[in-house]
Amino acid sequence: MSSPTATATAPARRRTDLGALLLEGRAFLALVAIFVIFSALAPNAYPTVSNVLVMASHVAIYALLAMGMLLVILNGGIDLSVGSTLGMAGMIAGFLMKGVDLSPFGVAVTLFPPVWVVALAAIGVGALIGLVNGVLVARFNVAPFVATLGTLYAVRGLASLMTNGLTYNSFGGDPALGNTGFAWLGFNRIATVPIGVLVMVAVAVVLSGVLNRSVFGRWLYASGGNERAAELSGVPVKRVKVWVYVMSGVTAAIAGLILTSQLTSAGPTAGTTYELTAIAAVVIGGAALSGGRGTVRGTLLGAFVIGFLSDGLVIVGVSVYWQTVFTGAVIVGAVLLNSVQYRGRRPAVPSAGAGGTGQAPPPTAPKPSSAAAV
């Protein structure tokens, strides 16, 4: 026979579990609510398959930035330079697609690199910017906010210097040299799904595998949850920190390539304030800004919430000023819910087997072979 105390605490526990469940699933519930509301307001436009795919292609830009940002936030940092990195990747792509004039070097030749070389060069520049951020933060102990804020301005300035603030247009390439096809990334589809969405899904699968199935993922959650404890357990926290910024730069560059292809132009101001949208998507997705908690799935949901809300407001004819107000209100609400969710929790509590659930696992000492692999 159960005691009165046990029967009295059971309903309270069920209420607590229900509240925790609602908090955990708030991004999904918000996305469902947005879809239902705008489907009712614009039944002939918003819920159609073609419109959803178009909105998803817009979301892919935010989602790619946010997934890179998630890695940095899981590590307890912040990356304010992703918007500038996006813009610089587009400028590099535009510069190469327009042809590289080698006459200043005494060679009367204009070099047109193939599209795959253009893509690799842009991604390489993104990785280099991330490497600079990582070295500043991990090796020189510069605060992430300060280091990436400086990189934000430096990269944006360099992008402006490339064209004196002008924009690259027309990425058709030269058919005779075989470097056409850059528009494929932004406009083509496979089985009706935009290429940008497929790239977003591929990056999400890879990052989910890294976080949940690899030694690096366990190191990342451990160092983000408690850097000191992780370091004492043998986790190479500085190396992890450098790599998360490099991966953030890579995802930002991929987003820049897709955006440049969609716009068929590249300007030095592209991606301005996108870093804030990426941070908002991570927060709406339930990640803790203190580090150690968060998932790729939640971040994707957060990006879809922002993207579907913005596009829905445009479809129903809400003014751009009210769009900003609504988006800001959603972000503030997400931050408040995050505060409630993580209130009273110690940021450095590792829990056994939590690596696959978006929480900090125990910082285990790495084997020498594993360390070499990363």
* Strand 193-194, strand 189-190: pairing: antiparallel
pLDDT for 10: 56
CA-based nearest residue to 94, from 170, 190, 185: 170
pLDDT in tens, the chain (374 residues): 445 555 555 555 555 677 777 777 888 999 999 999 999 999 888 889 999 999 999 999 999 999 999 999 999 999 999 999 999 999 999 988 888 877 777 777 778 888 899 999 999 999 999 999 999 999 999 999 999 999 999 999 999 999 888 888 877 777 776 677 788 888 889 999 999 999 999 999 999 999 999 999 999 999 988 889 999 999 999 999 999 999 999 999 999 999 999 988 899 999 888 999 999 999 999 898 888 889 999 999 999 999 999 999 999 998 888 888 888 888 888 888 888 877 765 544 444 333 444 544 444 444 444 333 33
pLDDT of residue 355: 40
What pLDDT is recorded for position 15? 56
Task: Enter the pTM of the model.
Answer: 0.85
pLDDT value at residue 308: 93
Distance CA 265, CA 284 (A): 31
CB distance 304 to 318 below 8 Å? no
Task: Kindly report the length of the chain.
Answer: 374
At residue 374, the pLDDT reads: 32
Residues with Cβ within 8 Å of residue 72, at least 6 apart in sequence: 78, 79, 144, 244, 245, 248
pLDDT, tens digit (0-9, with 9 covering 90-100), for 159-171: 999 988 888 887 7
List beta partners, residue 101.
Answer: 110
Do the Cβ atoms of 293 and 343 come closer than 8 Å? no
Tokens at 74, concatenated: 């899981």
The rounded distance, in Å, linking the Cα atoms of 42 and 40 is: 6
pLDDT of residue 13: 58
**Which pLDDT score is estimated for 14?**
57
